[in-house]
């Protein structure tokens, strides 16, 4: 499968870039809706985030463990628990995941699930 579209961007950068744009919009909509009322759009965004968190957790089990991947795995487990318990991931939790993903740029480039989560977090 040829993933080169001639625009000098790798497949991973396209996935991350596309998801970042989508998540920036989702996050701002979700923040507004949360401030006004609970809605179906907020639930959908949260479900997407939960799915991305779970997918990356599963993929992390397939890579060699490092301090970075261990910290990321722990933060992902906490995020999953928070989402399943409260129905959302708070701003502090999202920021922590952004920081860990930012510190793991090589991982984001390799694992599509990491790129997907980065996009959902507005990176």
- Overall pTM surpassing 0.85 (yes/no): no
Q: Are 56 and 76 in contact (CB under 8 A)?
A: yes
pLDDT recorded at residue 104:
84
Task: Determine the average pLDDT of the residues in 9-26.
Answer: 44
CA–CA dist 97, 46 (Å, integer): 15
Q: Are 89 and 46 in contact (CB under 8 A)?
A: yes
pLDDT recorded at residue 42:
55
């Amino acid at each position: 499968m040829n993933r080169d579209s001639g625009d000098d961007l790798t497949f991973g950068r396209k996935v991350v870039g596309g998801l970042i744009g989508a998540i920036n919009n989702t996050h701002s909509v979700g923040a507004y809706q949360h401030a006004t009322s609970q809605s179906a759009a907020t639930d959908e965004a949260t479900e997407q985030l939960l799915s991305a968190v779970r997918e990356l957790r599963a993929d992390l089990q397939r890579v060699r463990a490092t301090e970075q991947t261990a910290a990321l795995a722990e933060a992902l487990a906490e995020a999953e628990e928070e989402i399943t318990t409260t129905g959302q991931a708070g701003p502090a939790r999202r920021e922590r995941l952004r920081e860990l993903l930012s510190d793991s740029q090589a991982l984001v480039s390799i694992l599509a699930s990491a790129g997907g989560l980065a996009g959902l977090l507005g990176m």
